[in-house]
């Protein structure tokens, strides 16, 4: 018989982080070590439920002896490594990345990006007003999702979440090459004619709001979306017996968004169409 | 012909109940009432029933959608205040056979494995389960398993989207699960792949089982099941030789007139090969409702007290009698099916129905409505005015358990998880427990529960398998799986590891093989009813659609009768054409959808849109004698073209 597979005890890796000794379990990334040490390294394409894609380069740090800067989100900590997160070179690189991304894409709904632009003194508008690569406007072709590719930074997280890393539906892919590359569904058609099953797991990982729930999109358009006034309560889905944990985002006693904790053993942050969108019966016909 | 827009919600939109309703006389209308009036009327009816017709004239339909705490209080109300064990819920219409089968074999009615185990197992069998649609997030664990190298086999009459991921699809004829399982068992025995060490140590009844399956050769099974002999042999060898295998099933196994026998036939395969009681090797029934597992665990079933403890055991009864200050009858109550029969014989006079919709969810729904109309007193507590609530004498507006109350629910892997209140209920709606306790007080029992945690702690004091699960620990661990007897320890993710113990004392009661025989579906196909209708779920919809109908799913296309291309051609019908679908019990009109994943002779419908097409007018109320689950999966139907040829959407 097979015994319960006990993971072997993880050895600790010791290295130097900004001149201080750091100690993390073997297999941890530099980013993990930074989080543990309370250092704030910006990330965009990194997703805690996904394999690092190394697409955006905003998390780069300097590793002693390495010719190029290393992405903290994917570079594993090694014994004796000397890592500096805040050197002139790393800061400059982050500044350029932020300037390029923020000039090419609309980052108005990207959490924390305004703060980083200020911190790194990035000046995205120095490339002129017509630096935006798309200017297509939001695509609203169904009642659940909105796709606003003007906000897309091509991090590929949605492709991975829809594809083999989680959902295995493969509705989302990258079309085109080079400057023409963009996130698309088959034949670049409307979502309703694609393989999409409306699980919302791509929206869950989108870092910029390029993919968003229609409920959130509509409220933002109307100027009523106010995260300050929202509460987040984690409960259990009311549909099948799998028992997915749902975090209900509630504003003015209405559920406005549903997510799932990324560290949950049942969902790993993923949901299906019923859990993600099937809440409206609760408020249907509610006296308003 | 009317256009069916994609994304169009079903015609019936339910709105929340915001105040109580009462009916002044049978046949009269429901009118708005105050809580005081409605509760008094509800209470008076229960009191009168108990006084005039005895405790067993009362029945409680508890709710597999509500919290464990509510189910605990509902069954306590039934047993302590009304004095009967007549309490059940819609687990009867889905997974009661799984509970009955598993507890007969292992003494415990839960799935034996956990989701995480399926990610590292070597072989996955999905039997009668379209988890890709019905349990999408469970299927993500299956997909991880497949990506980690597990082989997956799908056994299903339909080539479902689950089957698309399988190494091999065994498309058996509806209702031939036992012949297929027996043939697999026989092949394993004859190929010398049975795990005799495990069989001798941990099981009983092997010789009888061997004799029972002996006639089911691969060729006989091929004739009966329609599955090629090679495919059966392949699955038998794969299952027996896998280091670790997971056998998962859903309603394709249980919703038959012999559902419990089907479950036993699958369990036999795990006993034969030792594919149970180890990490990664086990049995996993996938439950259809958020708390169908918990409802049973809480004792909201007629034969078990909270903690799945046997009503017939004197010591158990004594413990509960002392805890509740009452006396308990040493016998089983009526299950849901028996309660419906007792309505007709007038032995059951009053029903308290909490959050269930049997007027649409029961097989042969026309008969279910007629029977409920014979009741003296029907109280329905729900969030919507369902078809069942429309029949009630008193309608009490409740909260939506999963987001308007605090408590816990228990999922398919036995994980008890916290449910938390996120929004306030509409209008005058009140919490289920609060309402039950109010009626209890009016009947002379002043129960004081400060909150759901107080109810849970009372349950913990009487249920050893839940004892270690304080609210604090449930939050800390993101849910805990039962059994959890201790407050400072967690048990393994899999159950029945005891069967592998060398010491007979620690091994405990061996697991008996189930000696079960093939029994074809009750509703036979013949010249008049030549097609086999089976039922199931779609990805974006749920049960009777009351809950899932409210969001605009781009995938939703309403109800269809799905036919194979061969049958569509035979009847000269095309997609979108409305046809009459008739069984021996009823008849509905539904548009056709041609699905190449169906085999000739097989038709498929759902029960998601009963207000458009009431599929359960067609289904048969032939029940599993052990668990009482109806044979939703096998009806005989015919298709008729409508007299005036309908135009086809171009």
Whole-Å CA distances, B65 to A244, B360, B416, B417? 14, 16, 14, 14
CA atoms of B266 and B180, how far apart (whole Å): 10
Percent with pLDDT over 90 in chain B: 75
Phi, psi torsion values for B340, nearest 5 degrees:
-65, -40
Q: What CATH architecture applies to the domain B531-641?
A: Beta Barrel (2.40)
Q: What CATH architecture applies to the domain B96-285?
A: 3-Layer(aba) Sandwich (3.40)
For A192, how many CA atoms within 13 A lie in the half-sphere containing its CB? Answer: 17
Residue B91 pLDDT:
66
CA atoms of A265 and A271, how far apart (whole Å): 12
Q: In chain A, what residues touch B422 (CB-CB under 8 Å)?
A: 231, 233, 235, 248, 250, 255
The residue written with tokens 């690569």 in the block is A133
Ramachandran assignment for B379, one of left (phi > 0), alpha (psi -120 to 50 degrees), beta (any other): beta
List, as own/partner pairs, every contact residues B440-443 make where C-beta atoms lie below 8 angstroms and the sequence separation is at least 24, other chains included. Answer: B440/B77, B440/B81, B442/B39, B442/B40, B442/B43, B443/B43, B443/B46, B443/B47, B443/B81
* Residue B11 pLDDT class (50, 70, 90 cuts): very low
Taking only residues 181 to 240 of chain A, the set having a beta carbon closer than 8 angstroms to any beta carbon of chain B reads: 191-192, 196-199, 231, 233-240
- Vertex B496, ends B495 and B502: CA angle to 5°? 140
- The pLDDT of B76-101, averaged and rounded, is 86
Rounded to the nearest angstrom, the minimum Cα separation between B282 and chain A is 12
- The pLDDT of B361-385, averaged and rounded, is 89
CA atoms of A263 and B36, how far apart (whole Å): 46
* Residue B357 pLDDT class (50, 70, 90 cuts): confident
Question: Domains along chain A?
Answer: 7-131 (3.10.20.740), 133-214 (3.30.70.20), 226-288 (2.20.25.90)
CA atoms of A171 and B143, how far apart (whole Å): 16
Residue A11 pLDDT:
87
CA atoms of B428 and A161, how far apart (whole Å): 42
CA atoms of A182 and B361, how far apart (whole Å): 46
Residue B8 pLDDT:
42
Of B6, B165, B492, the CB nearest to A4: B492
Residue B559 pLDDT:
87
Give the three-state DSSP class for B95: coil
Q: Does B93 touch chain A (CB under 8 A)?
A: no
Q: What share of chain B is helix, strand, coil (3-state, %, to 5)?
A: 35, 20, 45
Q: Does B490 touch chain A (CB under 8 A)?
A: no
- In CATH terms, B21-88+290-410+427-452 corresponds, of 3.90.226.10, 3.50.30.30, 3.40.50.740, 3.40.640.10, to 3.40.50.740
Indicate yes or no: CB of B278 within 8 angstroms of CB of A199. Answer: no
Q: Which residues contact B418 (CB under 8 A, 6 or more apart)?
A: A234, A235, A236, B406, B407, B408, B471, B474, B475, B479
**Encoded tokens for B42:** 């509800």
pLDDT at residue B292 greater than cutoff 90: no
**Encoded tokens for B372:** 């409920």
**What distance lies between CA B35 and its chain's CA centroid?**
33
pLDDT in tens, B541-561: 766 666 666 677 888 778 899
CA atoms of B609 and B531, how far apart (whole Å): 21
Give the three-state DSSP class for B582: strand
Q: In chain A, what residues touch B288 (CB-CB under 8 Å)?
A: 240-241
Of B18, B409, B549, the CB nearest to A287: B18
CA atoms of A276 and A208, how far apart (whole Å): 19
Indicate yes or no: CB of A168 within 8 angstroms of CB of B554. Answer: no
pLDDT in tens, B69-78: 999 999 999 9
| Strand B511-512 relative to strand B203-204, pairing | parallel
Q: Does A286 touch chain B (CB under 8 A)?
A: yes
CA distance between the termini of chain A: 61
Q: Which residues contact A218 (CB under 8 A, 6 or more apart)?
A: none
Q: What is the DSSP letter of B16?
A: B
Residue A286 pLDDT:
47
Ramachandran assignment for A181, one of left (phi > 0), alpha (psi -120 to 50 degrees), beta (any other): beta
Q: Does B592 touch chain A (CB under 8 A)?
A: no
Residue B97 pLDDT:
85
- Vertex B139, ends B481 and B300: CA angle to 5°? 40
CA atoms of B336 and B358, how far apart (whole Å): 10
Annotated domain spans of chain B? 21-88+290-410+427-452, 96-285, 531-641
- Residue among B538, B535, B536 at smallest CA distance from B618: B535
Q: Does B428 touch chain A (CB under 8 A)?
A: no
Whole-Å CA distances, A190 to A186, B174, B223, B554? 9, 38, 47, 11
Tell me what the pLDDT averaged over chain B comes to. Answer: 90
pLDDT in tens, B511-522: 999 999 999 888
Whole-Å CA distances, A174 to A102, A137, A148, A180, B155? 20, 18, 15, 10, 35
Interface-testing mutation among B122, B137, B547, B556, with chain A (most A C-beta atoms within 10 A): B137
Q: Does B140 touch chain A (CB under 8 A)?
A: yes
CA atoms of B70 and B298, how far apart (whole Å): 9
Indicate yes or no: CB of A238 within 8 angstroms of CB of B292. Answer: no
Q: Does B545 touch chain A (CB under 8 A)?
A: no
Which of A263-277, B280-294, B410-424 shows the lowest mean pLDDT across its residues? B280-294
pLDDT in tens, B556-614: 778 899 999 999 999 999 999 999 999 988 899 999 999 999 999 999 988 777 777 78
Q: Which residues contact B2 (CB under 8 A, 6 or more apart)?
A: none
Whole-Å CA distances, B377 to A233, B45, B54, B496? 39, 6, 14, 45
CA atoms of B78 and B70, how far apart (whole Å): 12
CA atoms of A19 and B61, how far apart (whole Å): 66
Q: Does B556 touch chain A (CB under 8 A)?
A: no
pLDDT in tens, B204-240: 999 999 999 999 999 999 999 999 999 999 999 999 9
Q: What is the DSSP letter of B56?
A: G
For B164, how many CA atoms within 13 A lie in the half-sphere containing its CB? Answer: 10
pLDDT in tens, B97-147: 888 899 999 988 889 999 999 999 999 999 999 999 899 999 999 999 999
pLDDT in tens, B13-51: 678 999 999 999 988 999 999 999 999 999 999 999 999
Query: Do B21-88+290-410+427-452 and B531-641 agree at the fold level?
Result: no
pLDDT at residue B307 greater than cutoff 50: yes
Give the three-state DSSP class for B508: coil
Handedness of CA B469, B473, B479, B480 (dihedral sign): negative
Under 8 Å CB pairs connecting chains A and B tally to 211
Helix H, strand E, coil C: the string for chain A is CCCCCCCCCCCEEEEEECCEEEEEECCCEHHHHHHHCCCCCCCCCCCCCCCCCCCCCCCEEEECCCCCCEECCCCECCCCCEEECCCHHHHHHHHHHHHHHHHHCCCCCCCCHHHHHHHCCCCHHHHCHHHCCCCCCCECCCCCEEECHHHCCCCCHHHHHHCCCCCCCCCEEEECCHHHCEEEEHHHCCHHHCCCCCCCHHHHHCCCCCEEEHHHHHHHHHCCCCHHHCEEEEEECCCCCCCCEEEEEEECCEEEEEECCCCCCCCCCCCCHHHHHCCHHHHCCCCC
What pTM did the predictor assign?
0.91
The residue written with tokens 């941890």 in the block is A28
Residue B650 pLDDT:
37
CA atoms of A42 and A60, how far apart (whole Å): 9
pLDDT in tens, B180-214: 999 999 999 999 999 999 999 999 999 999 999 99
CA atoms of B536 and A168, how far apart (whole Å): 22
CA atoms of A149 and A133, how far apart (whole Å): 10
Enclosing H/E stretch for B486: none
pLDDT in tens, B479-506: 999 999 999 999 999 999 999 999 999 9
Phi, psi torsion values for B294, nearest 5 degrees:
-65, -35
pLDDT at residue A285 greater than cutoff 80: no
Residue A7 pLDDT:
62
pLDDT in tens, B257-276: 888 999 999 999 999 999 99
pLDDT at residue B444 greater than cutoff 60: yes
Looking at the DSSP assignment, which residues form a beta bridge with residue B399? none
List, as own/partner pairs, every contact residues A72-75 make where C-beta atoms lie below 8 angstroms and the sequence separation is at least 24, other chains included. Answer: A72/A29, A72/A30, A72/A31, A72/A34, A72/A41, A72/A43, A73/A29, A73/A31, A73/A43, A73/A45, A73/A46, A74/A29, A75/A29, A75/A30
CA atoms of B163 and B599, how far apart (whole Å): 14
* Residue A132 pLDDT class (50, 70, 90 cuts): confident
Rounded to the nearest angstrom, the minimum Cα separation between A97 and chain B is 34
* Residue B289 pLDDT class (50, 70, 90 cuts): confident
- On whether the CB atoms of residues B482 and B468 are closer than 8 A, the answer is no
pLDDT at residue A93 greater than cutoff 90: yes
Indicate yes or no: CB of B423 within 8 angstroms of CB of A242. Answer: no
- Residue among B137, B181, B224, B419 at smallest CA distance from A204: B137
Residue B649 pLDDT:
44
Q: In chain A, what residues touch B479 (CB-CB under 8 Å)?
A: 243, 245, 265-266
- Residue among B111, B108, B123 at smallest CA distance from B154: B123
Give the three-state DSSP class for B93: helix
- The pLDDT of A165-178, averaged and rounded, is 92
Q: What is the DSSP letter of B413?
A: T
pLDDT at residue B5 greater than cutoff 60: no
Whole-Å CA distances, A105 to A131, A210, B126, B270? 9, 10, 45, 56
Q: In chain A, what residues touch B540 (CB-CB under 8 Å)?
A: 198, 273-274
* Residue A6 pLDDT class (50, 70, 90 cuts): low
């Amino acid at each position: 018989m097979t015994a319960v597979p006990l993971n072997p005890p993880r050895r600790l890796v010791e290295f130097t982080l900004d001149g201080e000794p750091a100690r993390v379990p073997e297999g941890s990334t530099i980013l993990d070590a930074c989080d543990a040490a309370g250092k704030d390294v910006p990330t965009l394409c990194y997703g805690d439920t996904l394999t690092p894609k190394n697409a955006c380069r905003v998390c780069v740090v300097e590793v002693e002896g390495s010719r190029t800067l290393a992405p903290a989100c994917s570079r594993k900590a090694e014994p004796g490594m000397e890592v500096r997160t805040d050197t002139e070179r790393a800061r400059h690189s982050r500044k350029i990345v932020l300037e390029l991304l923020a000039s090419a894409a609309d980052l108005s709904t990207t959490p924390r990006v305004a703060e980083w632009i200020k911190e790194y003194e990035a000046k995205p508008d120095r490339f002129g007003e017509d630096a935006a690569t798309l200017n297509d406007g939001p695509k609203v072709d169904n009642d659940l999702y909105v796709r606003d590719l003007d906000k897309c930074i091509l991090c590929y997280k949605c492709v991975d979440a829809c594809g083999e890393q989680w959902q295995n539906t493969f509705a989302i892919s990258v079309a085109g090459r080079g400057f023409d590359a963009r996130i698309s569904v088959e034949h670049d058609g409307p979502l309703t004619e694609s393989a999409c099953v409306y699980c919302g797991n791509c929206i869950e990982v989108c870092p910029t709001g390029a993919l968003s729930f229609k409920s959130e999109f509509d409220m933002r358009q109307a100027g009523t979306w106010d995260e300050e006034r929202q509460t987040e309560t984690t409960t259990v889905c009311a549909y099948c017996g799998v028992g997915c944990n749902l975090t209900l985002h509630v504003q003015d006693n209405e559920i406005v968004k549903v997510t799932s904790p990324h560290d949950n053993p049942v969902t790993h942050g993923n949901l299906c169409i019923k859990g993600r969108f099937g809440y409206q019966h609760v408020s249907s016909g509610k006296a308003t | 012909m009317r256009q069916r827009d994609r994304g169009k919600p079903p015609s019936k939109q339910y709105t929340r109940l915001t105040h109580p309703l009462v009916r002044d006389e049978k046949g009269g209308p429901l009118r708005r009432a105050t809580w005081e009036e409605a509760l008094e009327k509800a209470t008076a009816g229960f009191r009168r029933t108990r006084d005039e017709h005895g405790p067993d004239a009362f029945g409680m339909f508890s709710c597999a959608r509500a919290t464990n705490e509510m189910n605990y209080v509902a069954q306590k109300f039934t047993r302590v205040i009304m004095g009967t064990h007549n309490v059940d819920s819609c687990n009867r219409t889905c997974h009661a056979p799984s509970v009955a089968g598993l507890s007969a074999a292992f003494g415990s009615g839960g799935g034996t494995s956990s989701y995480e185990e399926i990610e590292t197992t070597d072989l996955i069998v999905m039997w009668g389960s379209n988890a890709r649609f019905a349990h999408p997030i469970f299927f993500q664990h299956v997909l991880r398993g497949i990506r980690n190298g597990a082989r997956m086999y799908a056994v299903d009459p339909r080539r479902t989207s689950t089957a698309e991921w399988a190494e091999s699809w065994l498309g058996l004829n509806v209702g031939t699960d036992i012949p297929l399982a027996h043939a697999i068992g026989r092949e394993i025995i004859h190929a010398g792949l049975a795990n005799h060490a495990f069989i001798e140590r941990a099981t009983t009844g092997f010789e009888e089982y061997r004799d029972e399956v002996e006639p089911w050769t691969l060729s006989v099974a091929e004739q009966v099941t329609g599955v090629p002999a090679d495919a059966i042999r392949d699955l038998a060898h794969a299952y027996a030789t896998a280091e670790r295998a997971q056998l998962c099933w859903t309603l394709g196994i249980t919703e038959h007139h012999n559902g419990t026998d089907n479950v036993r036939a699958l369990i036999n395969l795990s006993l034969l090969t030792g594919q149970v009681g180890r990490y990664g090797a086990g049995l996993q029934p996938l439950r259809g409702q958020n708390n169908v597992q918990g409802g049973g665990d809480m004792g909201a079933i007629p034969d078990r007290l909270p903690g799945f403890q046997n009503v017939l055991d004197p010591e158990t009864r004594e413990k509960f009698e002392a805890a509740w200050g009452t006396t308990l009858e040493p016998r089983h109550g009526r299950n849901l099916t028996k309660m419906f029969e007792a309505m007709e014989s007038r032995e059951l006079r009053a029903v308290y129905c909490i959050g269930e919709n049997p007027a649409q969810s029961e097989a042969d729904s026309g008969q279910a409505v007629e029977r409920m109309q014979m009741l003296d007193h029907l109280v329905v507590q729900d969030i919507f005015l369902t078809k069942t609530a429309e029949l009630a004498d008193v309608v009490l507006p409740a909260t939506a358990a999963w987001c308007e109350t605090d408590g816990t629910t228990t999922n398919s892997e036995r994980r008890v998880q916290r449910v938390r209140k996120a929004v306030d209920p509409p209008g005058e709606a009140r919490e289920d427990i609060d309402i039950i306790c109010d009626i209890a007080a009016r009947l002379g029992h002043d129960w004081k529960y400060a909150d759901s945690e107080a109810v849970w702690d009372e349950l913990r004091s009487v249920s050893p398998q839940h004892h270690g699960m304080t609210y604090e620990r449930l939050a800390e661990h993101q849910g805990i799986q039962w059994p959890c007897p201790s407050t400072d320890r967690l048990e393994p993710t899999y159950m029945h590891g005891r069967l592998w113990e060398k010491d007979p004392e620690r091994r405990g009661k061996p697991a008996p093989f189930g000696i079960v025989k093939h029994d074809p579906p009750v509703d036979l196909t013949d010249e008049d009813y030549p097609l086999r209708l089976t039922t199931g779920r779609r990805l974006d919809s749920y049960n009777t659609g009351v809950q899932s109908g409210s969001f605009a799913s781009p995938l939703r296309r309403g109800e269809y009768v799905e036919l194979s291309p061969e049958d569509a051609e035979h009847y000269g019908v095309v997609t979108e054409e409305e046809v009459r679908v008739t069984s021996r019990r009823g008849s509905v009109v539904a548009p056709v959808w041609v699905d190449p994943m169906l085999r000739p002779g097989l038709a498929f419908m759902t029960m998601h849109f009963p207000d458009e097409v009431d599929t359960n007018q067609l289904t048969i109320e032939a029940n599993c004698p052990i668990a009482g689950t109806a044979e939703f999966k096998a009806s005989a139907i015919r298709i008729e073209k409508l007299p005036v040829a309908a135009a086809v959407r171009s």
